[in-house]
Amino acid sequence: MSENRHYFIGIHIPEQLAHQIKKDIDLRSGLSFQKWTAPDDYHVTLIFLGAIPNERLEKVIELLEILTNEAPVFSLELNEVGYFGTKDRPRVFFAKPNENGALMQLREKVKDAVLSAGHPVEKRPFHPHMTIARKWNADHSYANQAPLGKDPYVMEVSRITLFEIRPKETPRYHAIKQFMLHT
């Protein structure tokens, strides 16, 4: 691990589910974005760490191992879509989880662990999401989208992952360490 690399902690979307979501997204017309997230990179970020000194990262890992032994496995549903940026030309197009107290509690515990390790966290409010695409790329305006599918995509969250970002590779996000939740 290197201090020049960037990291985040998140929930990886299982491969089969990610490819089903991508397949269903590909059936939609009128979506014109510059950059599409590869299904292997689908995730819900809990905390973005950015560059972090090795000793601090090791402390974060130690604290995550403790907290995940006490955090329960839970279900997560993805169905609604949304965007960040302007309505006509969104910066980010995403799927968002349905309201989920277990997800919010886990995020707070991860945030507390990162802060306890002496690393800062973003001050912006947490809006859980799975990025599908970035940078609207059409002359016409973005049109609001229907939910992803007829029924929500459901997954069991049984672990969280420390990812390293490798911008020049595909997939871009590499699992460095996984932390199993309590069953």
- At residue 157, the 3 state secondary structure works out as strand
Residues 6+ apart with CB under 8 A from 18: 39, 40, 42
Parse the chain into domains and list their residue ranges: 6-180
Integer-rounded Cα Rg, in Å, for the chain is: 17
What is the model's pTM?
Answer: 0.94
pLDDT digits (tens, 9 = 90+) for 25-55: 999 878 999 999 999 999 999 999 999 999 9
Residues 6, 12, 19, 43: which is the catalytic one? Answer: 43
In angstroms, the CA 90 to CA 85 distance is 5
Find the farthest-apart pair of alpha carbons in the chain and give their distance in angstroms, rounded: 50
**CATH architecture, range 6-180:** Alpha-Beta Complex (3.90)
Residues 12, 19, 129, 182: which is the catalytic one? Answer: 129
E strands present in the chain: 6-12, 33-36, 43-51, 74-85, 90-97, 130-136, 153-157, 159-165, 173-180
pLDDT greater than 90 at residue 125:
yes
Between the alpha carbon of residue 49 and those of residues 16, 52, 119, 163, the distances in Å are 27, 7, 8, 10
Task: Give the model's confidence band at 183: pLDDT under 50 very low, under 70 low, under 90 confident, else very high.
Answer: confident
Annotation marks residue 19 as catalytic: no
In angstroms, the CA 127 to CA 63 distance is 23
Annotation marks residue 140 as catalytic: no
In angstroms, the CA 60 to CA 116 distance is 8
Mean pLDDT of the chain: 94
Task: Give the model's confidence band at 1: pLDDT under 50 very low, under 70 low, under 90 confident, else very high.
Answer: low
